[in-house]
Structure 1
Amino acid sequence: MQIKDVLLAPGNGAFFYDDQAAIRAGATQDGFVYVGHPITAGFNSIRIPASSLSVGLVLTDNTVVWGDMMNVQYSGAGGRDPLFDTDQISDLTSRVVAPRLLDVDASLYLDACEKVLAPFEHQRLPLAVEYGVSQALLRAAAHLRRKTMAEIVCGEFGLQVPTCRVPIYCQSGDAREINTDKMILRSVDILPHGLINSRQKFGVDGQTFVEFVKWVATRTRKIGRPGYHPVLHFDVYGWIGQEVGLEPQRIADFICKVAESVPGFTLNIESPGDFGSTQAQIENYAKIVSILDSRGSSARIVVDERCNTLEDIRLFAEAKATHLVQIKTPDVGSIANTARAVLICKENRVGAYVGGSCTETDLSAQASVHVSVATQADMMLAKPGMGVDEAFSIVDNEQNRLLAILDHCRAQNEKVG
């Protein structure tokens, strides 16, 4: 077959793994570190550098194609896979996955993924393994068939080759004001995330958060180019529910109040509350969506926590329990599942946001771009890291290169035709 060897190389994610439970419980920051004891299993401190593992497929022409495995920033939270352990993942990949890779037709992408990523001992492989190996297989199929990764996705899922760009969303990290300025100067489509993940950042009754939202809108008008009008998107990590109460009406009232404070802007509020389970999240988010829609609010809610798997995404989309789904790419496993998730959202007329994590790598970000463009997602995350410039350049440049290639191929085909 086309894969003759498998390489593994330890690596670094572009940010840190954080113990969300400890942060929500009140851990304070001292510089860049969090002070206090970890709560989530596997963490020996609240913040630790993100690790990754690259898997390389040596093809018969000696080309090596790569994919990267890692978990998300808040590993072990909200039903997610536990903290990434490079040694354990490396051992499993060597023993179980590598022999499978040597025995598949790598030019047949979905078929290869199904065979290589099949359960082991009646259990699904770790999602990080699915994610990294599926990236490498996508690159292998693209190389063998002399196409872009996006074209492979289009072919496998019966999609038209795209012509339109996908809007890009940047995240600020804790350097909110500086990074918001960077986003505005770069005319980013959707901004700024805000990382509103503590009571200090949200404020009593959400007042600190509301003031920040108003500041972002004012700053956009002040230093943005003429005609620049981004979508404002804030991730509040459940703090609306924690501060005003886990009751859909109260949460909707608060969101409407925030939207009214920035007239003329579309407002996305990610993770307004955490109701403790997927089913409870679906029921209560559906009520919030209904209230916002009935009021004609410019605000939209985005689900993240409790919506991890492909089946979770289907349940939220079918129940209209969100306006947008964050498809957290490492959490849905195989990157083919990211494509499936976008298509599920589109079938149910729910927005598809191809997200992921700041802990990812340049390779996983580039693969995500191809899937996002191929499926024409509604938005995609600039990743990895929290620095804005690096993540935006990786994702925006990859998208621009991809669209240039597709335009060229289209023009060549028209000449031949």
Structure 2
Amino acid sequence: MAEIRAVRAIPTVSGFFFDDQRAIKAGAERDGFDYRGEPVTPGFDAVREAGEALTVELELADGTVATGDCAAVQYSGAGGRDPLFRAAEYRPVVEDVIGPELVGRDADAFAENAAVIERLSPAPGRPGSSGVPGGDSESSGTLHTAVRYGVSQALCDAAAKARGTTRTDVLADALGTEPATEPVPVFGQSGDDRRTNAEKMLVKGVPVLPHGLFNSVEKVGADGEGLREYLAWLADRTAELGAASYEPRFHVDVYGVLGDVFGPPYDRNEVVDYFDSLRAAAAPYPLQIEGPMDEGHRGEQIRAMAELRDGLADAGVAVDIVADEWCNTFEDVRAFVDAGAADLVQVKTPDLGGIQRSAEAVRYCEGTDTRAYLGGTCNETDVSARACAHVALATDAAQVLAKPGMGFDEGYMIVENEMRRTLARRDANGQRAAAADD
């Protein structure tokens, strides 16, 4: 038995920043890379703060060390998500609460060990025991999602090391899936440098692009004209820079801002016509719009998204909409899918808790008319991004986010290369097994 001998937690840095989304949407003024103004969301000391992570190390009896990174989304505390994650506050939770639960366990038993962490609650007064302020999340009273996220990564890595296999195989075994045989399409994110970074994506032939970071009315345009003009530019540059065989999908995130521009009801002609103008601007490339509105509550968000989706379908407007705001937990994903409220749901990996929960959420979309986008945040780390590449392969998700960071190149390299290396290793393992049978 490959026994877990010790559990350590080390405060580390993430790939981007924590931003107070509510303050930004309320008009916090840009000051170079920073923002001026007072924070609005509880837990923030400033509108923009340096991102933090917490590395979890599991030392096995033979001295092997498995790792995972606790990380939280850029816009923590918004849209029903868990509060701001402070690494130093959660270090004792990992070492003093989780550690005793894991020491002595068989590292091979990933599913069982991960289930223990999902059920574990911190002691009264511990960080994470207050749940999610104002949200209808299922995580209230349990460990902060970032903690469950990082510990589960380390448990998956430990199981792979104990078995001498890949993390993709560990997850596929736990889920009963047949892993992808080709890299899952990667979705690049541009950050605010949305033109230069999009051009980088086009030159590299990224399958899904560019995210765009349209998180204010100023960027989208008072009448939505800024987004439409950007899509027309992107379509032109795709034809100019892309290879002849290149057929990307456009995906832009508007952070609920279109709801601020238009307001409900979302199936009225004005809104449908605007989405049709976006489709025309992006043509001939397929278009998907993430987070068109933010209605402040899961139930209202589902109703508004379904209303928009039905309106677009009735008018024959071929624009897919993607659920993000208020779609955080496994229960949230299930609610959006069951209601037919989105063409894609973002499985926002740090918000699901354990990575096996993200995998289960992707699988829940199977057999429905909703596809699963394995997302996450620019504010993760190289360790968590690689772990998610294995979730994507194990579940054959529709697309997977390039992360961490907003510079594009680094995140794309990390996720794409992890998938390619894993597929090559699985192929080699299969060939060896076939030779042994002969």
Aligned-CA RMSD value: 1.3
- Between the aligned partners of 1:128 and 1:88, the Cα distance in structure 2 is 12
Partner of 1:54: 55
Match of 2:399 in 1: 379
Counting only pairs closer than 5 Å after superposition, residues 278-297 of structure 1 correspond to structure 2 as: 278-297=298-317
Kindly indicate whether residue 77 of structure 2 is the aligned counterpart of residue 76 of structure 1. Answer: yes
Shift of 1:188: 0.4
Q: Aligned partner of 1:72: which letter?
A: V
Q: Equivalents in 1 of 2:160, 2:311: separation in Å?
A: 45
Q: Is the 8 A contact 1:97 1:117 kept in 2?
A: no
The equivalences for 1:9-408 within 5 A come to: 9-120=10-121, 121=123, 123-250=141-268, 251-408=271-428
Secondary structure of 1:252 counterpart: helix
Letter in 2 for 1:186: K
- 1:302-361 Cα deviation digits (max 9, x unpaired): 000011110000011111110000000000000000100000111433110000000100
- Alpha-carbon deviations, 1:249-272, whole Å to 9, x = none? 144332222102222211010000
Q: SS where residue 366 of structure 2 aligns?
A: helix
Say if 2:187 and 2:207, in contact at 8 Å, map to a contact too.
Answer: yes
Give yes or no for contact 1:265–1:298 (8 Å, CA) kept in 2: no
Q: Which amino acid aligns with 2:185?
A: P
1:246 touches 1:273 (CA, 8 Å); kept in 2?
Answer: no
Displacement of 1:408 in angstroms is 1.5
TM-score (norm 1): 0.97
Q: Which runs of 5+ in 2 are unaligned?
A: 124-128, 130-140
Question: Quick one: distance in 2 between partners of 1:376 and 1:178?
Answer: 30
Return the offset for 1:279: 0.7
* Rounded Cα–Cα distance in structure 2 between residues aligned with 1:4 and 1:117: 21
Between the aligned partners of 1:270 and 1:289, the Cα distance in structure 2 is: 12
Task: Report how far residue 189 of structure 1 moved.
Answer: 0.4
Tell me the alpha carbon deviations over residues 186-238 of structure 1, each in whole angstroms, 9 at most, x when there is no partner: 11000001100011101111011110111111111111122212100000011
What is the CA–CA distance in structure 1 between the aligned matches of 2:178 and 2:77, rounded to whole Å? 37
Equivalent-residue separation in structure 2 for 1:349 and 1:247 (angstroms): 23
The share of aligned pairs that are identical, in percent, is 42
| Preserved contact between residue 272 and residue 315 of structure 2 (Cα < 8 Å) | no
1:63-86 residue CA offsets vs partner (Å, 9 max, x unmatched): 111100021000000111111111
Task: Report if aligned partners of 2:250, 2:282 keep a CA contact under 8 Å in 1.
Answer: no
User: Which stretch shows the higher mean deviation, 407-416 or 19-28?
Assistant: 407-416
Residue 293 (structure 1) shift: 2.4
Query: Which moves more between the two structures, 291-300 or 2-11?
Result: 291-300
The SS at the match of 2:172 is helix
Residue deviations 1:54-107 (CA, integer Å, cap 9, x gap) = 010000110111100021000000111111111221121122101011042221
CA distance in 2, matches of 1:190, 1:18: 25
Whole-angstrom distance in 1 between the partners of 2:425 and 2:68: 22
Is the CA contact 1:246–1:275 (under 8 Å) kept in the aligned structure 2? no
SS in 1 for 2:312: helix
Partner Cα separation in structure 2 for residue 11 and residue 134 of structure 1 = 17
After TM superposition, the structure 1 stretch with the greater mean CA deviation from structure 2, 24-33 or 156-165, is 156-165
Q: Distance in 2 between matches of 1:5 and 1:108?
A: 16
Alpha-carbon separation, structure 2, partners of 1:259 and 1:415:
51
CA distance in 2, matches of 1:305, 1:117: 23
Question: Using the alignment, how far apart are the partners of 1:318 and 1:410 within structure 2?
Answer: 38
Query: Are the aligned partners of 2:60 and 2:107 in contact in 1 as well (CA < 8 Å)?
Result: no
Aligned partners of 2:64, 2:193: CA distance in 1, in Å?
A: 40
Uncovered stretches (5+) of structure 1, i.e. residues with no partner: none
For 1:271 and 1:254, the matched residues in 2 are separated by: 15
SS at 2:224 equivalent: helix
Residue identity opposite 2:397 in structure 1: A
User: Which shows bigger deviation, 251-260 or 309-318?
Assistant: 251-260
TM-score by length of 2: 0.93
In the superposition, relative to structure 1, how do residues 44 and 161 fare at CA in structure 2: closer, same or farther (>3 Å)? closer
State how many pairs are aligned. 417
**2: CA distance between counterparts of 1:392 and 1:336?**
23
3-state DSSP class of the match of 1:340? helix
Distance in 1 separating the partners of 2:113 and 2:308: 41
SS at match of 1:205: coil
* Structure 1: 4+ residue segments shifted above 4 A: none
SS at match of 1:165: coil
SS of structure 2 residue aligned to 1:51: strand
> Match for 2:246: what amino acid?
Y
Q: Which amino acid aligns with 2:211?
A: H
- Decide whether the 8 Å contact of 2:267 with 2:310 is kept in 1: no
Residue 117 of structure 1 deviates from its aligned partner by: 3.4
Output the amino acid matched with 1:266.
Answer: P
